[in-house]
Amino acid sequence: MHSVAILVLDRVVPFDMAAPQQTFAWTRMPDGRPAYRVRLCAETPRVRADGDFTLHVDRGLEALAEADTVIVPGCAPGAAPPSARVLAALRQAAGAGTRIASVCVGAFVLAEAGLLDGLRATTHWVAAGELARRFPAVEVQPDVLYVDNGQILTSAGAAAALDLCLHMIRRDLGSAVAADIARMSVMPLEREGGQAQFIVHEHPPVPRGSALEPLLEWIEDNLAHEVTLGTLAVRAGMSERTFSRRFREQTGTTPLQWLLRARVRRAQYLLENTDHSVERIARQAGFGSPTAFRERFRKVVGTTPYAYRTAFHGRPPPRRPPEGRRGVRRSVGRGRVRRPATGRSPLRGRRA
């Protein structure tokens, strides 16, 4: 039986710990036998958990050397750093070929132990920048749900622990067993998109009172219009070259990238809060066509507009009426369908 050790550190996040514990414990072989033996282990018998309670853990760090897989959950802010004994035990397990995986900010513990040097890794998107800053030898990928390097795996925020566990179960036991535990967990075996769909894409901060502040407000008010670099430069009273340089100095990005991010944010808001069609939202957000909108949205958010709406909207979007119903009339004798022209024009200048 495959042995899983979950390392419980100071101020462990309960969900990060319980998600892999329950997922592996529930997994059954086709004949009904348990597939994994799961144990909690810690440096000391009593461990503070986030949420103002204490865990009593029976197994010590020796369990890491006995396990086939070690899981390192995340810990809350203010937790004590991992001790030298913990880091040494992780390095020893890795050296013996043990599979080691982290949940959320548990990636910081693996990085501290040197297990992520030269590897791709992820963590919660809020902490991704800090992981990259503190451990430059790690190639941080903030937009994915998990990263599998073979022996070393990392996952994003709390719910991504389930994605990672299902991935490991499928790798160990095949898709049929993984699909069964996915149904038990009320989870898809694979979620579409990555962490990017959950990231709040804020603009870089602009100093209050900056000369650009009125212009940026104007951009937000006119996303549905065609906005060019020349238009922005004229409104700013500068040449295009000077404007581009000043804009980057004050925002850290280009006018085009700022505009595209603003349009994607507007589209996200409309997908979450309206039943407008994708074509209409493309116009309201200022994209030249639904195709351009879908391509840009997928590039920034990591999923399609429809999948994003399904995940974040309170109810599914309305579908077009089937052929032969209201809004569609059939041509006589040729069997083709013609749709009447609506005569609608794009919404210009209206704030969403």
Quickly list H helices, 222-325: 229-236, 240-251, 255-273, 278-284, 290-301, 305-312
As given in the structure block, the two tokens for residue 248 are: 């980057």
* CA–CA dist 165, 48 (Å, integer): 24
152-155 vs 337-338, strand pairing mode:
unpaired
Tell me the C-alpha distance between 352 and 350, whole Å: 6
Among 41, 75, 104, 165, the active-site one is 104
Radius of gyration from C-alpha coordinates of the chain: 26
Q: Which residue has the tokens 């919660």?
A: 124
Note whether 176 and 168 are within 8 A (CB). no
Distance between CA atoms of 246 and 236, rounded to whole angstroms? 10
| Whether residue 165 lies in the annotated active site | no
Instruction: List 69's β-bridge partners, or say none.
Output: 4, 99
Helix/strand/coil (H, E, C) string of 54-98?
Answer: EEECCECCHHHHHCCEEEECCECCCCCCCCHHHHHHHHHHHHCCC
- C-alpha dihedral sign at 276, 280, 282, 286: negative
CB 121 within 8 A of CB 127: no
Catalytic residues: 104
